[in-house]
Amino acid sequence: MKLLVPVKRVVDYNVKVRVKSDQSGVELTGVKMAMNPFDEIAIEEAVRLKERGIATEIVAISIGVAACQETLRTALAMGADRGILVETDAAPEPLAVAKMLRAIADREQPRLIILGKQAIDDDMNATGQMLAALLGWPQGTFASKVTIEGDTATVTREVDGGLETVALSLPAIVTADLRLNEPRYASLPNIMKARKKPIETMKPADLGVDPAPRLTTLKVVEPAKRVAGKKVGSVAELVEKLRGEAKVI
């Protein structure tokens, strides 16, 4: 079966972002970018399904600026077979992304689409669910285990109280949580090989999607800063402060 895995280019998770002084957003100039960590997990899961003989082809998709090529190359080096880049001026919102992915899914006819559960830049946690809705497919979000048997995907989900398992009729959407797997590092030979794998480039208009946002960002500010408090010398002093000063116990 064919798998699609969308991957997003985001600020590297180790970078502490800074808000721009004009409050228009966060500073992205000169900042290290990387594949969204949850999307790495999604790619890894797809590659494992291929290694187990369940998946036959993995198509990685990235939507955003031209530099998303690099993100696709990373996906290809991890084991995806080919890439599709939908080039836009800025990163579109999840709704527009989901519409573009639907158009690609209509063309590619995959049996399974695996996405990261959320991107660590806008923290929306929405694209997978929205794509499932637009395709009319069932969804297994926040997955920590995925088993494919015949026409059914059995997905164990991380929920508030623990774990929940659902069975989905394929085709279906899965969104990856942290514990689904530990993504591999691409080996140098695989990075070299990835350079030769095909990437098709298109525009939102080719997919019939208007990427105009529905949300206008009015301002972006730093959150209220916490100031470091005091160091206490002993457990006894700590308990005394919590009782007498903070009055929380």
Partner 1 sequence: MSVLVLIDHEHGLLKQPSRSAVAAATKLGDVHALVVGQSVGPAAEAAARLPGVSKVLKADAAGYEHALAEPLAALLVALAPGYTHLLSASTATGKNVMPRVAALLDVQPISDIAGVEDADTFVRPIYAGNAMATVRSSDKIKVITVRAASFDPVAAEGGSATIEDAADAGNTGSSRFVSAELSKSERPELTAARVVISGGRGMQNGENFHLLDPIADRLGAAVGASRAAVDAGYVPNDYQVGQTGKIVAPELYMAIGISGAIQHLAGMKDSKVIVAINKDEDAPIFQVADYGLVADLFTALPDLKAELERA
134-163: which residues touch partner 1 (CB under 8 A)? 134, 136-142, 144, 154, 157-163
Residue closer to partner 1, measured from CB, 193 or 241? 241
Backbone phi and psi for residue 170, each to the nearest 5 degrees, phi listed first: -75, 150
Cβ at position 193, least distance to partner 1 in Å = 30
Which residues make Cβ contacts (< 8 Å) with residue 226, sequence separation at least 6? none
C-alpha to C-alpha distance for 134 and 56, rounded to whole angstroms: 25
- Residue 35 CB, shortest distance to partner 1, in Å, is 16
Which residues inside 23-82 make contact with partner 1, applying CB under 8 A? Answer: 26, 38
- Per the structure block, which two tokens stand in for 118? 């959320």
**Can you tell me which residue has the tokens 């990856």?**
176
Smallest gap from Cβ 160 to partner 1, in A, equals 4
Interaction mask 214-233, partner 1, x per CB under 8 A = xxxxxxxxxx--x-xxxxxx
Nearer to partner 1, 2 or 179 (CB): 179
84 near 60, Cβ under 8 Å? yes
Tell me: does residue 17 bind partner 1 (CB under 8 A).
Answer: yes
Chosen residue from 120, 191, 199, 202 binding partner 1 by CB under 8 A = 120
Please, which residue, 188 or 227, has the CB nearer to partner 1? 227
Selected range binding partner 1 among 54-62, 81-89, 106-114, 127-135, rule: CB under 8 A: 127-135
Query: What distance separates the 2 farthest-apart alpha carbons in the chain?
Result: 68
CB of 230 to partner 1, least distance (A): 7
Identify which range of 9-17, 46-54, 63-71, 75-83 contacts partner 1 by CB under 8 A.
9-17
What would the two tokens of residue 204 be? 């939102």
Restricting to residues 166-205, name those near partner 1 by CB under 8 A: 166-169, 172, 177-179
CA distance 76 to 179: 22
Per the CB < 8 A criterion, the answer to whether 35 and 74 are in contact is yes
> Three-state DSSP class for 9?
strand
Site for partner 1 (CB under 8 A): which residue of 6, 94, 110, 211? Answer: 94
Tell me the window of 40-48, 103-111, 132-140, 196-204 that interacts with partner 1 (CB under 8 A): 132-140
Picking from 183, 212, 203, the residue whose alpha carbon sits closest to that of residue 80 is 183
Question: Nearest 5 degrees, angle CA 80-CA 84-CA 85?
Answer: 125
**Which of 161, 163, 121, 120 is CA-nearest to residue 141?**
163
* Residue 242 is a binding residue for partner 1 (CB under 8 A): yes
Shortest approach of partner 1 to residue 175 CB, angstroms? 9
Q: Cα dist. 36→42, 123, 224 in Å?
A: 10, 11, 26
Q: Would you say 65 or 138 has its CB closer to partner 1? A: 138
